[in-house]
A and B are shown apart, each in its own frame.
Chain A
Amino acid sequence: MSLTLSVTNLFLLLGIFTVVVVTIFLFEFRRVRTSLMLRESEMTRRMYQLSILREIGERIGYSLKIEHIIEVIVGSLRRLLEYSTVAYMLLSTSPEGKARITFNLNVERPVHPKFIEGVKRTMLGSLNTLMGKEFTLEDIDETISGTITDPTAAESIGSFFNVPIVIDSSPIGLLNISDPSTGKYRHKEVEILFTIMSQASDAVSKLERVLKIEKGKLNSMVESMADGVLMIDRLKQLSVINPAARRMLGLQSEHPTIFEVLDALANQFDLRTRLEESMEHDKLIVAPAITINGHFLQILVSPVKDESKSFLGAVVLFHDITKEKELEKMREDFTSMMVHELRSPLTGIKSIAGLLTSDKVKTDAQKYNQFVGLISTNSQDMLELVNDLLDVAKLESGKFQLIKKVADISSVIETRVNSFKTLAEQTNITLSAKIDPQVPKALEFDEHKITQVLNNFISNAIKFTRTGGSIVVSAFLLPQGKDLAQQVVEQSLVWPGIKKGIMLGSDALVVAITDSGLGIPQSQIPQLFNKFVQLENAARSEKKGTGLGLVISKGIMEAHQGTIGVFSEEGEGSTFYLTLPVGPQVLK
């Protein structure tokens, strides 16, 4: 009996145990299942969120209109949430420029008309609070879509929530979800919608910023272009004109019209016809240069099309070729001066040579000698001209070579002064040298070329100094960064017209030729080194020579990494100087 009992008890115990285990198991199973299901729904939501964001991302590529993006979000919401209405309010501007509110409501499940009215008022209140504005129902342009309203349905809103729409950290509207049943929206759902909205806003903000930067870049590029740019839209209206174009066309107003542009070009360029031609035949038109306000302008007209090949308008480019034209004229002048400089003496030589064979000249010894002398000096002049031209050509083609050797600049200067002494004395000019004792005995330079520069400086000085005047050849060191004007004073030299502001990047030797001559007008100084101007002047001047000496001297000094410069005062005299960099050890 006790055994039976115990067996029964055993079974009972086993049964109870099983029940407990099964119950626990069932409970545990439910718990696990619930948590699994929760996780799954979480995953589903997450997937929705991602797919919506992806969809937004894709559509953003096509349109930056926030309304479209919100429509995408709204269209996808029903997969995520249960609601009766979804609505958004966005700030907009009426054609008259007044601030308006776009209200868009979609009825998902039938509601009472009063329910919609309630949503509208709720949203308006929230929007005013959010924006700090006082919009009224009159400011709203509404669009209601979706299912029809039902007079028997619930009138009052049980649950709702608002999500602000923010672009670039400023609110521009509101999204609203409403339902008649109460306690519908839990924290989690609201949070998801917030996340979607804020990420969408973020994406739009970023894109807008990028677009703004790109547009800004494009604008500033067009604004700062040296060429004049006009953009003309399909309706032949002026949509863009940059400052260069306004300046070239002489337009005063900040925002000129197409008519002002056409007027400015009138009689010179038929822009209207060219625009039509360009758009009709879809081709770039390059017009020959026209002259406006003393400038030569080349005009290009090009049609502008979008991706689908439809015309958006045209771009007109004004390219100022005045400089090129001036250069062309200089070259022509140069050629005609060359003709004068070479052909005249050559013609003379030919004629004189012809006359030498005539009996009259043959028998007249004085005339014969005079003519032979003329041939000799003219050939010499022509040879010098050809040499100068070859030097300039070499300098310009970079084929100018220096043969640098260590030499004593002081003795080079003294030799020059001695060789010019006789010529100077002929016109009663005193020529002297003033070499600072600190000038090193051994410097590296091309002795032959530096001699050429000094010859040029000294012979010019003699040419332009009146009888009884004086010429001083000076040499001294100029430490790096020290003002030349200061050093000249410390060397007890007087350079007419000297100005402060010449400082060098390294220690240098300065050799200068100062005369008490006519001086050079300030405006002519830059032209001394322009070969075109120099040749033209030379041809018109009574002084012999090509005028290319300074152009060549500048080239020689630049080949030495040195410089060349001029100071002058009209009526007082001029100083031409060269600087030759010396190694830093020299000054120590």
Chain B
Amino acid sequence: MGDKKKILVVEDEEILLAALQEELNQGGYETLGAGDGEEGLKKVKEFKPDLILLDLVMPKMDGMTTLKHLKDDTASRDIPVVILTNLSDYERISEALSLGAKDYLVKANYSLNDLMDKVKSVIARGSQAPTS
């Protein structure tokens, strides 16, 4: 149990959150879900995840603001973040990437393999020093 990698999923859509968590659990990861950015930031501190899946459009605190907070805090700065997005809005994706997100996953057409590949490779890279 102890060597399981931990993933925090921040997503306001309940059903999607449940699906992602279950898929990751079945893939051998330990997960925790959060319904918005505020809750996500709180849970980062307790859960100390190895990876954060972060939705962009959320109530209370959106993903972009959450990402800024994460990168401003030395405790969470080095945790790799993968953006979950539904928008075919490349400006937002590139903004998130420039803010330090490692990768992104388009929710509408992700497959289980996509999810696992991304998570695996980002966690592997996460152990290296951040690039920017």
Contacts and interface: CB of A to CB of B under 8 A. Distances in A.
Contacts, number: 71
Interface string A313-348: 000000000000000000000001001100111011
Q: Categorize the interface residue count of chain B.
A: 20 to 34
A344 B86 contact: yes
Contacts of B16: 344-345, 347-348, 351
Contacts of B88: 339
Interface of A is mostly: helix
B15 interface: yes
Interface stretch (A33-41, A44-52, A175-183, A539-547): A539-547
Contact of A378 (B15, B57, B86): B15
A345 B58 CA distance: 14
Contact of B59 (A343, A354, A375, A540): A540
Interface string A344-378: 11011101101100101100000100110011001
A352 B15 CA distance: 7
Contacts of A370: 18
B19 A355 contact: yes
B18 A371 contact: yes
Contact of A351 (B14, B19, B86, B87): B19
Nearest to B87: A336
B59 A541 contact: yes
Interface string B91-130: 0000000000000000110101000000000000000000
Nearest to B18: A374
A221 B112 CA distance: 66
Interface stretch (B1-9, B20-28, B42-50, B72-80): B20-28
A436 to B, nearest CB: 40
A347 B108 contact: yes
**Residue of B17, B57, B88, B112 with most partner-chain A CB within 10 A:** B57
A348 B84 CA distance: 13
Given A540-B57, A540-B59, A542-B59, A336 B13 contact: no
B105 to A, nearest CB: 11
B26 A343 contact: no
B15 A348 contact: yes
B33 to A, nearest CB: 13
B111 to A, nearest CB: 10
A343 B107 CA distance: 9
**Residue of B18, B22, B60 with most partner-chain A CB within 10 A:** B22
Nearest to B35: A542
Given A347-B108, A348-B18, A542 B86 contact: no
Contacts of B112: 354
A339 B19 contact: no
B42 to A, nearest CB: 16
A360 B27 CA distance: 11
Contacts of A542: 12, 35-36, 59-60
Nearest to A346: B108
Contacts of B23: 351, 355
A355 B25 CA distance: 11
A351 B12 contact: no
Contacts of B57: 340, 539-540
B26 A360 contact: yes
A349 B13 CA distance: 11
A343 B106 CA distance: 11
Contacts of A355: 19, 22-23, 26
B107 A352 contact: no
A349 B36 contact: no
Interface string A193-229: 0000000000000000000000000000000000000
B15 A339 contact: no
A458 B15 CA distance: 27
A353 to B, nearest CB: 9
Contacts of B86: 339-340, 343-344, 347
Nearest to B55: A344
B13 A344 contact: yes
Nearest to B16: A348
Nearest to B59: A542
Contacts of A345: 13, 15-16
A12 B65 CA distance: 144
Contacts of B15: 345, 348-349, 351-352, 374-375, 378
Nearest to B22: A355
A404 to B, nearest CB: 40
Nearest to B109: A347
Given A355-B23, A540-B59, A541-B59, A343 B18 contact: no
Contacts of B19: 347-348, 351-352, 355
A336 B26 contact: no
**Residue of A344, A371, A378, A540 with most partner-chain B CB within 10 A:** A344
B87 A339 contact: yes
B89 A374 contact: no
Nearest to A371: B18
B94 to A, nearest CB: 16
Nearest to A374: B15
Contacts of B22: 352, 355, 361, 367, 371
A351 B110 CA distance: 10
B27 to A, nearest CB: 11
Nearest to A349: B15
Contacts of A354: 112
Nearest to B89: A336
B13 to A, nearest CB: 4
23 contacts: A339-B86, A339-B88, A340-B86, A343-B107, A343-B108, A345-B16, A347-B110, A351-B19, A351-B20, A351-B23, A352-B18, A352-B22, A355-B22, A355-B23, A358-B26, A360-B26, A361-B22, A371-B18, A375-B15, A378-B14, A540-B58, A542-B12, A542-B35
Interface of A: 336, 339-340, 343-345, 347-349, 351-352, 354-355, 358, 360-361, 367, 370-371, 374-375, 378, 539-542
Interface of B: 12-20, 22-23, 26, 35-36, 57-60, 62, 86-89, 107-108, 110, 112
| Top 3 A-B residue pairs of the complex, sorted by shortest distance between their CB atoms | A348-B15, A351-B19, A348-B16
Given A345-B16, A348-B18, 17 more contacts: A336-B87, A339-B86, A339-B87, A340-B87, A343-B86, A344-B13, A345-B13, A347-B108, A351-B16, A352-B22, A354-B112, A355-B19, A355-B22, A370-B18, A539-B57, A540-B59, A542-B59
